[in-house]
Amino acid sequence: MKAVYILWLRQIKRYLRSRSRIIGSLGQPILFLLALGFGFGPVFQRAGQGNYLEFLTPGIIAMSVLFTSVFAGIEIIWDRQFGFLKETLVAPVSRLEIMIGRTLGGATVATLQGIIVFLISLLAGFRPQTWLHLVPALAFVVLTAVLFTALGTAIASVLDDMQGFQLIMNFLIMPLFFLSGALFPLNGLPKFLEIITAIDPLSYGVDGLRGTLVGAAHFGLSLDLAVLSVMTALLLAVGSYLFSKIQI
């Protein structure tokens, strides 16, 4: 387990040392919060849906976690190109420990990113329904972060080209985000969109955050937690298998 701790700590140190990465990754969430939160707020309110900033904030937190966690997989390709991954894989530790350490490190970074976006939303005027629900909200953030870090690791394990990874991520991430209900309510959607949003794992992360922070869960917190837990376990298993097959 020492290897897990070392790799976890390495991921966090790399994140904290890169101030430009921290600032750059906050640009899109801030833009969405301000432009959409205040731009569409009056329209959302006139439609009888309440405060759009309160509705939007859980989705933007989930978006920040999604982007940060999935793109943590890029570091596998980066380390492979510069030889660090080879040094890690030939070390006398199991590849399962290496994968778990990297995944936990990426998930921790994504969780920190989500917390920062939450703090920024407080400055923008967002207020949770009750501060007591911040702990279960954090649990949903952590589960979402681990799930999508494992997904990024699984995809990066079968690729050795940075451009190919970016193409797949762009093809995958944007549909996951836009079809998760992060920007719009899931009530009253056409049937085919209801099916797609129900398949999208991010939908349950957004819904869990929305349920804990503003008390407006669509699927129900129990179902959100169950789906995220099962999907996280599944992707950890798939990611571990694919990572174990990396050729050096």
What is the model's pLDDT at position 148? 93
Cα separation of 119 and 122, whole Å?
Answer: 5
What is the model's pLDDT at position 114? 92
pTM of the model: 0.90
- Reported as a single tens digit per residue, the pLDDT across 182-231 is 988 888 888 988 999 999 999 999 999 999 999 888 899 999 999 999 99
Q: Where are the domains of the chain?
A: 2-244
Listed in sequence order, the DSSP H helices in the chain are 2-17, 19-31, 37-39, 41-46, 52-70, 74-82, 84-89, 95-124, 134-157, 162-178, 191-199, 201-214, 221-244
- Reported as a single tens digit per residue, the pLDDT across 96-132 is 787 888 888 889 989 999 999 999 999 988 989 888 8
What is the model's pLDDT at position 145? 95
